[in-house]
Amino acid sequence: MAQRQSVFRDETKLDINYVPGRLPHREHHLRLLKEFFSFALEAPEKMAQRVLITGDVGTGKTALSQRFGLEIAHESSIRGIKLRYVHVNCREYRGSLFFILQHVVSVFHPNFPKRGYSAEELLHTLVQVLDDEKTHTILSLDEFDSLIEKEGPEAVYKLTRLQEMRQNKPQRLSLICILRGPEMLGKLDVSTRSTLQSNIINLQKYSRKELTDILNDRVSLAFKPLTVPEGSVRLVSELAYSEGGNARFGIELLWRAGKYADAEGLNTVIPDCVRKAASSIVPAVKKSELTTFSLHEKLFLLSIARLFKENQKATVSLAEAERAYAIACEEFDVSPNSHTQLWKYLKDFSNLGIVETEVSGTGSRGRSTDISLPRTPVEELEKTLRTLLDEESDKT
């Protein structure tokens, strides 16, 4: 069989988890972040820092923090300083402080027991572990919103004030909190808010020109030379700009366009590949977002997508969605979650802009919640969820 030609040189450079060596148009922010943490390379035990990174989806918050993490870890190892950077996506841990802390502890002790203590105990255990390792840790809490949402002000207060509760002892834990907008901080008490808001790095949406620079950078890393014409990059950047200056969307689109070129046996990623990729991508929900959902969130969303696909209706009720979800649970051989839990999932979907909900009261007895999917192509959503669920059941 003839070897298949590909436009890609290294497609992993377009992966969501790839941290680029250079962050175009975020150099200044990276310098600022390093400045905030310069003490960690001089006198890591003497102080701790808290920094807030805010910005919309795809403005480079995660990449900025991870790039910083890699660089400071490298620099500290050269200088022989014990420093760790730990990046945690709070949403992946359902916003639970307990699971987040457990993950951090497991970085140092992979076989640390998973049960038998409370979140509060775990917080003190973490400090003990860091003392034992004599290591200063910079904990980056990505999607910090979900931690605030789940745990409320008390837990966040304890986390941010951990160092102050142990005066005259080595400072072990610094925080980087990453969230979309500072509005969520309104849910915290005044003192926690003021602690967090002292150092803010706000990332503005990328302009068309900035997006083009970022995409060109990735093209040179991920694609073979001369396989992506300027016009295609411009088109991707235009589409990413219309998605709110979302670089992540642009990079995902670039990857998908490359896949279309490969599938059609083309030597170059022509603009039409970009158009096809753009029409097939789920606009309101990126695959990267769906992967962070739990099994039941995926099942519930799949049920909603199926209902819309079957009925061609503008809205479906929560009761209908629940019935469809019960069938999906049977299909995947899992017990369905309660009504309250589903209602919470629906609220999360709505916050993420995947669905819209409205409480209808008139014309029927009681109140019911109507669900609509205004911006999401149902078939694509169903297909993506189905693939993810199949992958998940293959793993188990």
Partner 1 sequence: MNVEDVFSSKLRMKILRTLFDVGELNASELARRLKINYVSASKHIKILEDEGILQHKVFGRIRLYRYNEQSAKAKAVQNLIEVWERYDKK
With 0-12 / 13-18 / 19 or more C-beta atoms within 10 angstroms meaning exposed / middle / buried, residue 395 is exposed
| Nearest CB to partner 1, comparing residues 110 and 363 | 110
Contact (Cβ atoms closer than 8 angstroms) between residue 5 and residue 11: no
Q: Which residue carries 């775990």 as its tokens?
A: 122
279 binds partner 1 (CB under 8 A): no
Whether 136 and 11 have beta carbons less than 8 Å apart is answered as no
Q: How far apart are CA 120 and CA 122, in angstroms?
A: 5
Q: Which is nearer to partner 1, 109 or 169 (CB)?
A: 109
User: Half-sphere exposure of residue 25, counting CA atoms within 13 Å on the CB side?
Assistant: 21
When the beta carbons of 82 and 124 are compared against partner 1, the nearer one is 124
Rule CB under 8 A: say whether 169 interacts with partner 1: no
- C-alpha 199/C-alpha 141 separation (Å) is 15
Q: Minimum distance between the CB of residue 117 and partner 1, rounded to whole angstroms?
A: 6
Q: Are strands 173-179 and 200-203 parallel, antiparallel or unpaired?
A: unpaired
Contact call for residues 328 and 295 (beta carbons, < 8 A): no
Is 47 within 8 Å of 9 (Cβ atoms)?
Answer: no
The binding track of 107-136 with respect to partner 1, each residue x by CB under 8 A or -, is --xxxxx--xx---xx-xx--xx--x----
Which C-beta is closer to partner 1: that of 118 or that of 340? 118
- Written as one string, the DSSP assignment of 151-189 is HHHHHHHHHHTTTTTSTTS---EEEEEEES-GGGGGGS-
| Contact call for residue 104 and partner 1 (CB under 8 A) | no
Question: Is residue 167 part of the contact set for partner 1 (CB under 8 A)?
Answer: no
In the DSSP assignment, the letter for residue 284 is: S
| Nearest-approach distance from CB 383 to partner 1, in angstroms | 40
Residue placing its CB nearer to partner 1 in the complex, 132 or 189 = 132
Does 106 participate in binding partner 1 (rule CB under 8 A)? Answer: no
- Contact flag: residue 82 with partner 1 (CB under 8 A): no
- Count interface residues toward partner 1 (CB under 8 A): 14
| Cα(350)–Cα(261) distance, integer angstroms | 35
Structure tokens at 370: 């109507």
Residue 107 Cβ, how far from partner 1 at the closest point, in Å?
13
Nearer to partner 1, 28 or 109 (CB): 109
Q: How far is the CB of 162 from partner 1 (least distance, A)?
A: 15
What are the residues whose beta carbons fall under 8 Å from the beta carbon of 83, sequence distance 6 or more?
40, 41, 44, 72, 73, 76, 135, 136, 137, 138
Provide, rounded to whole angstroms, the least separation between the CB of residue 112 and partner 1.
7
Choice between 80 and 113, CB closer to partner 1 = 113
Q: Return the SS3 of 137.
A: strand
Stretch that binds partner 1, among 106-114, 286-294, 307-315, 323-331 (CB under 8 A): 106-114
10 versus 132: smaller Cβ distance to partner 1? 132
Q: Per rule CB under 8 A, is residue 97 in the interface with partner 1? A: no
For residue 126, the minimal CB distance to partner 1 (Å) is 9
Site for partner 1 in 206-225 (CB under 8 A): none
**Which of 97, 70, 100, 98 has its CA nearest to residue 84?**
70
Q: Which is nearer to partner 1, 130 or 254 (CB)?
A: 130
Q: Is 359 helix (H, G, I), strand (E, B) or coil?
A: strand
CB of 87 to partner 1, least distance (A): 23
CB of 105 vs partner 1, minimal distance in Å: 8
34 binds partner 1 (CB under 8 A): no
C-beta closer to partner 1: residue 124 or 234:
124
Helix (H, G, I), strand (E, B) or coil at 245: coil
User: How many residues in the chain?
Assistant: 396
**Shortest separation between residue 160's beta carbon and partner 1, angstroms:** 21
| DSSP character at residue 90 | G
* Contact footprint for partner 1 (CB under 8 A): 109-113, 116-117, 121-122, 124-125, 128-129, 132
